[in-house]
């Protein structure tokens, strides 16, 4: 099973767009895909795939309830399907997940039990037999490094890191090693970086130098994405992937947009191949 978290400290660099389109690319390749939305922001994966109807329903079951061992039903009832991808949608209660987990940890301590708040997503997925049911699991957490990210990393052990090759992006590049080292130290696990993914790429000399530095740091950069504002804004407007937007909402095909779809497919394939190589190594 391929599992990874799409994460960037910088935020606003196409994190959710990348997660959605990688999920759809894998589903179109015939894989069973589960995408888990752990971002409490309104403009999250759930919104983009149009499965967020229960976000504000305080009576609805949610992933948060499962994480604190207070579910209102089986895990599979949380799942909605969009464009061939099974999705665990976000719920507004994610905003106070840290508080709920801390309270649950304190309750366990009162009874002399060890209860790690950072491993609860992994526990929930194992209990629901997700590893046996899915080929790919993708988690989309918020940009903030908090317990939501820690649960995502514990469950997936791998990162895909989008970034913009700009001045701010350069800080993200140089901070990649510190980011991974910090997560490994905090969680006491090994964390792999499956790929670093530049977007809004314009081919300047500075950007080329930045990509060279990444490769010198042994990070895989399978593809780069150029500026595709019209396409990606259209996806958010229509609440769909780039694949669905081009097929259903464009009146004519644009070669450069079809190339973008091919890059999503290429990246998804490379991630699968990297995982297969790790398993057989």
Residue 12's pLDDT is 59
pTM above 0.85, yes or no: yes
Q: In tens digits, what is the pLDDT along the chain, a chain of 281 residues? A: 999 999 987 665 589 999 999 999 999 999 999 999 999 988 899 999 999 899 999 999 999 999 999 999 999 999 999 999 999 999 999 999 999 999 999 999 999 999 999 999 999 999 999 999 999 999 999 988 899 999 999 999 999 999 887 766 556 666 777 888 888 998 899 999 999 998 888 888 888 888 888 888 888 999 999 988 899 999 999 999 999 999 999 988 899 999 999 999 999 999 999 877 776 65
d(CA 37, CA 45): 6
Residue 186's pLDDT is 87
Of the CA atoms within 13 Å of residue 50, those in its CB half-sphere come to 11
Specify burial of residue 105 (Cβ count, 10 A radius: 0-12, 13-18, 19+): middle
* Alpha-carbon distances, residue 76 vs 35, 61, 63, 124, 160 (angstroms): 13, 11, 11, 11, 26
């Amino acid at each position: 099973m391929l599992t990874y978290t799409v994460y960037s400290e910088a935020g606003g660099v196409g994190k959710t767009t990348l997660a959605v389109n990688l999920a759809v690319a894998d589903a179109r390749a015939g894989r069973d895909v589960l995408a888990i939305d752990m971002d409490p922001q309104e403009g999250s994966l759930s919104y983009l795939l149009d499965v967020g109807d229960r976000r504000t329903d305080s009576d609805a079951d949610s992933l948060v309830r499962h994480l604190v061992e207070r579910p209102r039903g089986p895990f599979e009832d949380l799942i909605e399907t969009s464009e061939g991808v099974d999705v665990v949608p976000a719920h507004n209660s994610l905003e106070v997940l840290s508080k709920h987990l801390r309270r649950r940890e304190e309750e366990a301590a009162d009874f002399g039990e060890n209860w790690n708040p950072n491993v609860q997503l992994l526990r929930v997925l194992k209990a629901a037999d997700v590893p046996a049911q899915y080929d790919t699991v993708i988690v989309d957490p918020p940009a903030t490094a908090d317990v939501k990210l820690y649960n995502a990393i514990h469950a997936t052990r791998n990162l895909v890191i989008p970034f913009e090759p700009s001045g701010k992006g350069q800080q993200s590049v140089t901070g990649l090693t510190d980011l991974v080292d910090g997560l490994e130290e905090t969680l006491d696990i090994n964390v792999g970086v499956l790929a670093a993914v530049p977007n809004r790429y314009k081919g300047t000399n500075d950007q080329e130098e930045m990509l060279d530095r990444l490769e010198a740091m042994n990070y895989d950069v399978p593809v780069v994405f150029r500026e595709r504002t019209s396409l990606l804004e259209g996806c958010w407007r229509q609440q769909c992937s780039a694949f669905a937007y081009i097929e259903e909402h464009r009146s004519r095909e644009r070669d450069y947009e079809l190339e973008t779809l091919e890059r999503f497919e290429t990246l998804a394939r490379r991630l699968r191949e990297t995982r297969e190589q790790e398993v057989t190594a």
